[in-house]
Amino acid sequence: MSRSLLSWLVAGVVSVSGFAHAQDVVRIGTLSDYAPFEYRDAKGELKGMEIELAKIMCKHIQAKCEFVTIDFDALIPALKAKKIDAVVAQMSITDERKKEVDFTDLFTLAPVQYVAKAGSGISDDPATLKGKTVGVYSGSTHETYLKKRLPKGSSGIATKSYPSQDPIWLDLEAGRVQAALTDTTVAHEWLEKTGKAKGFALVGKPLSDLAIFGEGTGIAVRKGDPLRTRLNGAIKQVLSDGSFAAENKKVFPFSIAPTAK
């Protein structure tokens, strides 16, 4: 074998190896304001239950993961535009979203409920919200529910959308909105740290609307992307090896695993 041919083959191997390595970088689109799942700590570092589980799952699929924080309503457009490869952001699996992206198997359960002042008379009955304003996360299924099921023209309920979760809580405390509609998991975090002491609580019953809220959350990937199969394997692994349960226990006194349904 000539030296020039050997050099060419070696260069080719290096090139292929580099390409394979590049393919193993998974860019995960996520949030930075949805505690306890995704948030930045005092040092500005990205933390949260889903962040930690994503890191564990990345090891299972032998990929280097890079987290990219994006506004929630921009996550699917970014995924379709190939700016990210997956979405880990408590995204509910709905028929509407499945028209645009593929989802993994169920990752977490996320019941939806109103938060309001205890004793305010507000409940899951729409009549109790007539003339009031409800704060919701922009692009969320909560926003979709209010706009589709309870439009202001017929229900008398005003919807105020926010680009992140924290301002919703601030406006609820200040009385600028009279209720918030959100996942009970996220509400639990705020109520335990702030809301209960100020008289707020989960009110009424969790809402049931499979067409809008879906069965739970999953990880979104582009249509037809084989990454979905790899992530499904990682989800099964963390659910069975205790990793999910360990992270769950750090933030909730109840299980949000899909097996807990």
Assigned domain for 51 exists: yes
| Percentage of the chain lying above the pLDDT 70 cut | 90
Which CATH number does the domain housing residue 184 bear?
Answer: 3.40.190.10
Assigned domain for 22 exists: yes
pLDDT in tens, 103-125: 999 999 989 999 999 999 999 99
Assigned domain for 173 exists: yes
Q: Are residues 151 and 91 in the same domain?
A: no
What is the tally of structural domains in the chain?
Answer: 2
Kindly state the average pLDDT of the residues 229-236.
Answer: 98
pLDDT in tens, 135-194: 999 999 999 999 999 999 999 999 999 999 999 999 999 999 999 999 999 999 999 999
Alpha-carbon span 168 to 28, nearest angstrom = 25
Q: Are residues 226 and 140 in the same domain?
A: no
pLDDT in tens, 64-94: 999 999 999 999 999 999 999 999 999 999 9
Q: Are residues 86 and 165 in the same domain?
A: no
Q: Are residues 44 and 22 in the same domain?
A: yes
DSSP 50: H
Kindly state the average pLDDT of the residues 1-14.
Answer: 40
How many residues make up the chain in this entry? 261
Q: Could you tell me the end-to-end alpha-carbon distance of the chain, in angstroms, rounded to an integer?
A: 63
Kindly state the average pLDDT of the residues 208-221.
Answer: 95
Assigned domain for 249 exists: yes
Q: Are residues 61 and 152 in the same domain?
A: no
C-alpha distance from residue 45 to each of 33, 138, 163 (Å): 12, 24, 20
Kindly state the average pLDDT of the residues 54-61.
Answer: 97
Query: Domain residues for 173?
Result: 112-213
Assigned domain for 238 exists: yes
Assigned domain for 196 exists: yes
Please give the pLDDT value at position 260: 54
More confident call, 58 vs 7: 58
Please give the pLDDT value at position 95: 94
Assigned domain for 126 exists: yes
C-alpha distance from residue 106 to each of 219, 244, 249, 261 (Å): 8, 13, 19, 11
Q: Are residues 59 and 97 in the same domain?
A: yes
The two tokens of residue 96 are: 């509407």
Give 259's pLDDT tier (boundaries 50, 70, 90). confident
Assigned domain for 261 exists: no
C-alpha distance from residue 187 to each of 41, 45, 56, 120, 202 (Å): 19, 22, 26, 17, 8
